[in-house]
Chains A and B, each alone.
Chain A
Amino acid sequence: MPEVTETQLPGVGVRHEFTTAKGDRLSVLVFRTGRREVAVYDREDPDAAAMVLHLDEDDARTLTDLLGGNPVTEAVAGMQQIEGVVLDWIPVSAGSSLAGSSIGDGQIRTRTGASVVAIVRTDTTIPAPDPTEVLLPGDTVVAVGTPEGLRAMRQLLSG
C-alpha cells in the first residue's frame, strides 16, 4: 500500500495524499462538513491540482462502493475523532475461545470494556450486530473502546 500523508487544513478539514503505482499524485480532501474533493496533481506543477472532483457525501459513498471499499470504514471513521476512544479491526482466529459463540454469550463488553460495532465477514458487513450474532473464525471485528479495552479484546479473539 502506498504511504498516505495527512495534512490538516485549518478551518477546512484534512487532506490525504499519496502517489499511485504509476506515479500520479492523488489527494482526497475530507471537509469538516463531510464533503469530499478528489484532486489529481499536475505532473509539471506538482503543487497544483490539475483536476478536481467535488463529491457530496452520497457521491463519495457511491464512488467508494464502486472502488470496492468497505462502507464500514467510512461509517466508523468519524468515531476516531473522539478523545480517548479508539477504533480497531480485530481478526477472529480459529483458536479463540470466542470463535463460534455469540457476542452476548462471550460477554465481550463486560470482559473487555470495548464494544463490537460491526462484523466484517468475507464480502458482507454486519453493522451494529445483535448480541445474538455469532462470531466465526476468519471474521474481522470492528471494535470501539479505550486502548486497554481493545488490547484485552485482541487477546480474547486471538485465543
Chain B
Amino acid sequence: MSVLASGGAEVAEAFVEIGTIVLVLSVLARLATWLRITAIPLFLIGGLVVGEGQLVPLDVSGEYIALTGEIGVLLLLLTLGLEYSAEELQTGLRTGAGTGLIDALANFTPGFAIGLLLGWEVTAALLLGGVSWVSSSGVAAKVLSDLSRLGNRETPSILNLLVIEDLAMAAYLPIVAALVAGTDATTTVKNVTIALVVVVLILALALRYGRHLSSALAGATDESLLLGVFGVTLLVGGLAQRMQVSAAIGAFLVGIALAGPVQQRASALLGPLRDLFAAVFFFYFAFAIDPADLMRFLLPALALAVLTVPGKLLVGWVGARRIGVAVPGRIRAGTALIARGEFSIVIAALGATLADGPDLAALAAGYVLLTVVIGPMAARVDARRLAARLSPRPQPAPT
C-alpha cells in the first residue's frame, strides 16, 4: 500500500490538498453557525473563490475530490429519503397532492421558461425548472427551529409540502436523469420508460416491504448498521446508474425504504458521514464554476428569484389556509419555503454533462445563494403587522 510504503509523493500531495480543502470547509461551517445560517451557501462561495484564485490547485486530488463529491450526493439523497417514513409519505400524498400541484406549477414553470428563453436545450431548461421548484428542507427546518416555530399551527402544512416535494423528486429525478443520459429520441424514450418503471417498482416495494429490509438491519450494532446502510446505498446507487437511473435516485429510494427505529438510527449514524462528503460535494460543485459565468447569470438568477419567491409565498398561503390558519400564519408558511438549497444543487449537478451544463450550474449557484439569503430574512419579517396592513380588520381563520 502506497500510504504505508511511504513511496507516494502523489499521495502526500493529495493529502495536503484534501486536508486544506476540508479545513477551509470546517472554518466556513463555523462561520455559518456564527452567522446563524446553513453552511451550504458558504461552501458554494468557498468553492467559487478557491476555484477562481487557484489558491489550491487540485492537480493530484481532483479525481479523489470528484469521487468524494459523488458519494456526497448519494449520502445527501439517502438522508433526504430517510427524513420521512413510508407512512408520512403516504399521508402526505393523500392530504397534500393539491398543494403540491400548485407548488409544481408556480415554481417549476418559471425556471423552465427562463431556461428556454436563454436558448438552452430542453433538458437543461427542465433541470432549471427543478432547481427553482424544490424548497430546501434543511433551511426550512433550521428557520422553524431557530425561530421556535415548530409548535406553530401552520408548521404541519410546511412540513407536508416538503414531504410532497420529496415524493415528487422520486419521479422527477429519474426522468431528467434519463433525459440527460439519452442520446437520441428512441433511447431517451426507452431510458425514461425504464427509469419510471424501476422507480415505481422500487417505491412500491419500499413502501410495502421496506420494513423487511429495516428489520433485517434492526439487530445490527451501530458499526454494522453504518456499514450496512452505506454499503446498500452505494450498491443500489451503482446498480441504478447501470440501468440509466441516476445513482442518486437509487440512494434516495434506499432512504425511503428504511423505516422505523432503523431509519432514525441510520440518520443519526450517517449524519456526520453525510456532512463530510456533502460539504465536499457543494465545494466541488462551485469549484467547477467559472466566476465569470456566475456574474453573467446573475441577472437571470435574480429574475428567477423574483418570479419564484412569490410562487412559494402562494404555496405557503394555500397550504396553511387549507388547515384553517389565519393570514399571519399563511405568510410565515410561505417565507419558510422560499430558500432553495441541497436538492437544487443536486439537480443542477445532474446536468454536468450537458452542453449547457456549466451555464446551468452557474445560474443555479447564483439562484441558490440569492434565495438562501432572502428566505431566512423574509421569515423574520413580522407577519402579524404585515397581515394587519394587508387587511384593515383582523381576519378570523375559516373553520
Contacts and interface: CB of A to CB of B under 8 A. Distances in A.
Contact of A37 (B84, B151, B159, B332): B151
A32 interface: yes
B329 to A, nearest CB: 4
B385 to A, nearest CB: 11
A47 B92 CA distance: 21
Contacts, number: 75
Taking each of B141, B152, B160, B163, which has the highest tally of chain A beta carbons within 10 Å of its own beta carbon? Answer: B152
Interface in B148-171: 148-156, 159-160, 162-163
A27 interface: yes
A12 B149 contact: no
B397 A47 contact: yes
Given A8-B88, A11-B88, A11-B162, A45 B151 contact: no
B126 interface: no
A44 B325 CA distance: 13
A47 B326 contact: yes
A10 B160 contact: yes
Nearest to A32: B264
Contact of B329 (A7, A27, A45, A52): A45
B84 A46 contact: no
Given A47-B397, A49-B151, A12 B326 contact: no
A61 interface: no
Interface in A1-21: 7-12, 15
Interface residues of A, number: 22
Contact of B397 (A11, A37, A41, A46): A46
A9 B83 CA distance: 11
A11 B153 contact: no
Contacts of A94: none
B239 to A, nearest CB: 27
Interface of A: 7-12, 15, 27, 29, 32-33, 37, 39, 41, 44-49, 52, 54
> What 3 A-B pairs come out closest when comparing CB atoms?
A39-B151, A47-B329, A47-B153
Given A10-B84, A11-B141, A47-B329, 9 more contacts: A9-B156, A33-B264, A45-B384, A47-B320, A48-B153, A48-B332, A49-B148, A49-B151, A49-B152
25 contacts: A7-B156, A8-B88, A8-B156, A9-B156, A10-B83, A10-B156, A10-B163, A11-B88, A11-B137, A11-B159, A11-B163, A15-B156, A29-B150, A37-B148, A37-B151, A39-B152, A41-B153, A46-B397, A47-B152, A47-B332, A48-B149, A48-B329, A48-B384, A49-B148, A54-B148
